[in-house]
Structure formats: structure tokens, C-alpha cells
Chain A
Amino acid sequence: MMYHWISVPVLLPAILGAAMVLLMRNDLLLQRVFALVSTLGLLAVSIALLVAASNEGPEVYQLGDWPAPFGIVLVLDRLSAMMVTLTAVLAVAVLLYTIGSGWDTRGRHFHALFQFQLMGICGAFLTGDAFNLFVFFEVLLIASYGLMIHSGGRDRLRAGVQYVAFNLVGSSLFLFALASIYSITGTLNIADLAVKAAELPQGDAALFRVAAVMLMMVFAIKGALVPLQFWLPGTYSNAPGPVAALFAVMTKIGAYSVIRFGVIVLPTTHPVTGTLIADLMLPAALLTLIIGALGILGATTLSRLAAFAAVASMGTAFIAISAFTPASTAAALYYMVHSTLAGAALFLIADLVTYRRAHDGLHQSLPPIAQAGLISALFMVSAIATAGMPPLSGFIGKLLVLDALRDSAALVWSVILVTSLIIIVGFARAGSTLFWKAHASAPEGDGATHPAQALSFVAVGTLLAGLVALTVFAGPVIAWIEVTAASLFDPAAYIAANQLPEVK
């Protein structure tokens, strides 16, 4: 029984984040120590929750002891435990990088905002209530606004204004969708919605379809699905490197929500919505992948390249999600874990390069950077992983996606395979400009010097080691994820855990 522990991933960062603002705002060392304690604690708790969720099935935490659907509940199941653990692993690596590279010295309140961001992300993964999901979205967004403009600068602030404006529209759309759903079903608890949405009165069918599509549009904005992706490249490429790496998990919240609502509340067998969501999502996901791949090929800076790699990875994930079968969902989940780690590693490597070079533009070669050998090796590993070449987990992930989508092979396979080639060419071009051609323009005398910042390399290494582990242990991981996907498609246990009252 993990009952009270379910609230810890939300409460621990919330309390320590507030303590950092109130008690230690002038002491960076203390902030770093507490941030590490909090993040490592989050990792330990999330692993315990993961073990409990895999052994015991879904468990519900009633906030204030109010029963669902009247009170708000946190639901721990295999999917939410997996996503919280992924967040915690990413947070530890990003925090190590931030401390190692000194990013937290370039502005104030980095660590407090970081904790609030973790609180929002973990809350969004754990909550079992649709309106509470909106609230946790806002918590993570408002923290991300602060992190995004950390250390300031003209371009970063202007990209930040666009990012905030776009997300405000997204939040309004979310509220419109939730209000429509509440006016039809009279509930916002996800399990209760799954029960009530299955037996709608005939007159509400049109309104419910509109609400369902609006809800999915909100998640598509979060997940950067074309045509709602254009906030992502500007935001991610202008955000500080470690912040962009943490944002790698934010797009996954959109994908997670689509899986959660698409499978449990709006299954393809639903009498009103049917395959409406899936039919809209597949073409959008294919276009997302194509635009992401072209963006990688045409990127003018390394951080924009990493941002478009994030877009492309979301395209692949959404292609798998849009089939809404247990096999494709399992493929999407494996690919999401992989692309979170690979995307974050790429942003951190882009940051390493940017600080050793005059700028991170890709249109001209510059003299070699300090520690070029190590950084280029790291870049190569993460490029192989992101492009989906063997032997790393990107290859296994794409293989799973292709295998799950045999039915529509002609279209989907050709798009995924052709874009993979474009992505490989894009990465090869960027790598040769950054690391190979650099030697041609090397100046005489001493090379560039830059402090090595061992902790930064440890952080990138941790993420890449995670990718290697995901490859080596692919068998057990996929077996575990397949059980997770199967339990999503049989939501009886999830609904029963909410202990909804009998309707008389």
C-alpha cells in the first residue's frame, strides 16, 4: 500500500520550491543542495511507486478524503508511475547539468521554478480529474514561463511572449472543452467520464463531438502536432539549454493526455465519436513528422535542429498513438521514453557546443571548440539515437511503431522510412559542419580553451546511458510496457479504483 506516498511527487517539489523562494533565495549553495535532495527524493519515491503500481494495480489517493467524483483524486497506475519516473530521471540529469554549467548563476530563482515545474509535471501525470489536469497544466506552464526567460535577453523575451500568448489560447480552449464536457456529462472525474460518456443522451452527440475535438486540440498544442506546432521551434531554441532539455518531457504530457483520454474516455468503439479522433490525428501526425524532418535538414542553428528533432519525434509518437490499439500504444510509450531522453541529451549537447563556439549557427564552420572530441562523440551517439539508426533504442522504437502499423504500411512506412533518411542527412550535415570542417579552418597555435565542467558531461552521459540501458533491457521494458498498454485498454480496474458511487 502506497496510499499517502502517491501525493509525494506533487507535495515534495511544492514545499521545497516554496522554501527556496522564502528561506534561501540569497544562498545558491543551499538552493543547489535542496534541489538535489528534492529531485533525488522524487526519483526514489517514483521508483517505489513504479514497483507498487506494477505489483498491485491502480490505486487512488483522495485529496481531503473526499470520495470521487465529488472530490479530486490522484490515480497511480502503471502509465502514470512510468511517466513520473521518467520525469524524475530527466530532472536529475538536467539539474546536474544546470549546476555543472553554472546556468543557475545567470539569473535568480532557477531552482525554485524548476521545483514548481516538476510539481506541475508530476501532478499532470498523476491526477484523475480533468479540471485538476488543467490546473496542473497551468502550474507547469507558469513555471515554464519563468524558466524559459531565465537570464533574459531580447530574443528569449520575445520568444517567451509568443510562447505565453500561444499557451493562454490553449488554456482558454481547454476551459471551453471542459465546460462543454461538464455541461453534457455533469462530471469531470476521468473514470466517471469514461462511464458517463459511454451512455450519452442522443441529443448531446454533436456537442460531445465538438468538446472531444477541442480537448484533443489542447493536447495537440501541448504535443506540438501540426498545425499547432509552430510555438515549439522558437520556444525550445531560445530557451536556456537545460530548460529546453526539461521541456522535452512537456510535449510528452500532451501525448500522455491523448492516450489517457483517447483510450479511456473516447475509445474508437465510442458510439458518438468513434474513430473521429484517430482519423484526424493520423494525417496531422504524418505531417508533423515530415515538417520535423525537413526542419532538421534546414535548421540554421544547432538548437533549432534539436527543436525540430523534438517535433519529428512527437510526429512518430502520435502516428503510433493514432492507431489506438494495444500494440501501437505500447510502441508509442516505448518511443516516448526513448525520445524524451534522446531529445534532452541533444539539447544539452547543443548547449555545450554553443558555449564553446561564438554562436551555434550551422551555415559556416568555425575553429574547433574545446573538448571537441568528447562533445562530437556525444553528439554522434545522440544523433544515432534520435534518427533511429541501430544499435540504439531509437531503432527499436521505430521498429515497434512500424510493426504495430502493418495495416496501413504503404503510407505510414514510407513516411517514417523516408523521413528517417532525411533526418540522418540533416544530422550528418550538422555534425560535419560543427566538428569536421572545424579543423579546416583551425587557427595556428593553441586551440580554444574552456573549463571542462565535468558535471555537465556526467549529466549528458547519464541520459545517454539511459538510452543504452533502454536498448540493452529492451525485452523486459517492452514486456512491461505491453502489460501497461493492455491495462489501458481494459480500464475496468482503473474505474473500479476510483470507487465511484452506485447510480440509483
Chain B
Amino acid sequence: MEALVASAIGMMTAAGVYLMLRQRTFPVIVGLTLLTYAVNVFLFTSGRLATNMPAIYGEGAPGYSDPLPQALVLTAIVISFGMTAVIVMMALGAFLESGHDKVDMNDDDAPVDGGQK
């Protein structure tokens, strides 16, 4: 169980970082999404893995699974979802304005004089 979760987090992080280093916005956004998935699972496991345990400790319960990381994960999921939506909109805007979706700022058509705002 631990090995499975740990390797899943590791692989998602590795894939996310690889995609993030690409030159086009779409792979970058997919990479960021994978990275946020990995971090969500990682956050979830920070309360230790416990299966079939109640979230609230009571008399006679064999133990409990820590509820706090679950609350943290919910917050993190909402935030990363919102942020991904924002970057998709901005990437779309940048693509429509400039006609291509390269991430770096050094194009051939960049204005040499700094550009007018």
C-alpha cells in the first residue's frame, strides 16, 4: 500500500515536471495539473495511511484516520482547480493575441524598443 501510493506520487511528480519544462503552453498546463494531483495525494498521506478507520475517534474504535489532511486536501483541490482554470484562460488569451503558444518571451517578432504599453 505505502509503496503503491509513494510510487504513484513519484511518477506523477516526475511526469508533471517533465511536461512543465516543455515549450508549449498545453503540455505545461497538463504538467502543472499532474503536479497538483501528486501534491494532493501527498497531502492526503501526510496524516498516515489508514484504511477502514473512522475519521472521528470514539470509544471502542480501533483507531482513526486523521481528518485534518482531508480538510487540507479539499482546500488544495479547490484552489488548484481554480488556478488551472485561470491559467487556461490566460494561455488561451495569449494564444489568440500572439498567434502561437510558445511559453518563452524571446520571439523574433518581439519589439526591439521595449514595446509600447
Contact = CB atoms under 8 A, between A and B. Distances in A.
Contacts of A304: 114
Given A157-B94, A168-B36, A358-B116, A183 B79 contact: no
Interface string A145-175: 1000100111101111110110011011001
Contacts of A301: 114-115
B97 A363 contact: no
B104 to A, nearest CB: 8
Given A179-B69, A183-B47, A354 B97 contact: no
A378 B35 CA distance: 46
A142 B86 contact: yes
A31 to B, nearest CB: 22
Most interface-central of B93, B113, B114 (chain A CB within 10 A): B114
6 contacts: A158-B105, A168-B84, A172-B80, A178-B43, A354-B116, A359-B116
A240 B45 CA distance: 42
A354 B117 CA distance: 8
Given A135-B75, A155-B115, A172-B39, A160 B28 contact: no
Interface of A: 131, 135, 138, 141-142, 145, 149, 152-155, 157-162, 164-165, 168-169, 171-172, 175-176, 178-180, 182-183, 234, 240, 300-301, 304, 354-355, 358-364
Contacts of B79: 135, 138, 171
B93 A157 contact: yes
A300 B113 CA distance: 8
Contact of B90 (A135, A141, A145, A178): A145
Nearest to B82: A142
B91 interface: yes
Interface in B20-63: 20, 25, 28-29, 32, 35-36, 38-40, 42-43, 45-48
Nearest to A163: B90
Contacts of B93: 149, 152, 157
Contacts of A138: 79, 83
A183 B48 contact: yes
Query: Which 6 A/B pairs are nearest by Cβ-Cβ distance?
Result: A301-B114, A179-B46, A361-B114, A157-B94, A183-B46, A154-B97
Contacts of A135: 75, 79
B103 A169 contact: no
B26 to A, nearest CB: 11
Nearest to B113: A361
Given A149-B93, A161-B94, A182-B69, A172 B35 contact: yes
Contact of A171 (B80, B114, B116): B80
B96 to A, nearest CB: 9
B20 A176 contact: no
B94 A160 contact: yes
B43 A158 contact: no
Interface residues of B, number: 42
A172 B9 CA distance: 13
Given A138-B83, A142-B83, A359-B115, 11 more contacts: A135-B75, A149-B90, A158-B98, A161-B25, A161-B87, A168-B36, A176-B42, A182-B69, A183-B46, A354-B117, A361-B113
Contacts of B82: 142
B42 A175 contact: yes
B47 to A, nearest CB: 7
Given A157-B94, A165-B32, A171 B83 contact: yes
B86 to A, nearest CB: 5
A355 B84 CA distance: 34
Nearest to A167: B83
B32 A152 contact: no
Given A149-B90, A154-B97, A169-B32, A234 B105 contact: yes
A457 to B, nearest CB: 19
A162 B105 contact: yes
Contact of A179 (B42, B75, B98): B42
A359 B112 CA distance: 11
B76 interface: yes
Contacts of B43: 175, 178-179
A215 to B, nearest CB: 14
B97 A153 contact: yes
B109 to A, nearest CB: 10
B72 interface: yes
B1 to A, nearest CB: 16
Interface string B63-107: 000001100100110011011101100110110011000010100
Contacts of A131: 72, 75
Contacts of B42: 175-176, 179
A300 B114 contact: yes
B114 A158 contact: no
A158 B25 CA distance: 10
B69 A165 contact: no
A203 to B, nearest CB: 14
A296 to B, nearest CB: 15
A240 B114 CA distance: 14
B36 to A, nearest CB: 6
Contacts of A234: 105
A133 B105 CA distance: 31
Contacts of B84: 168
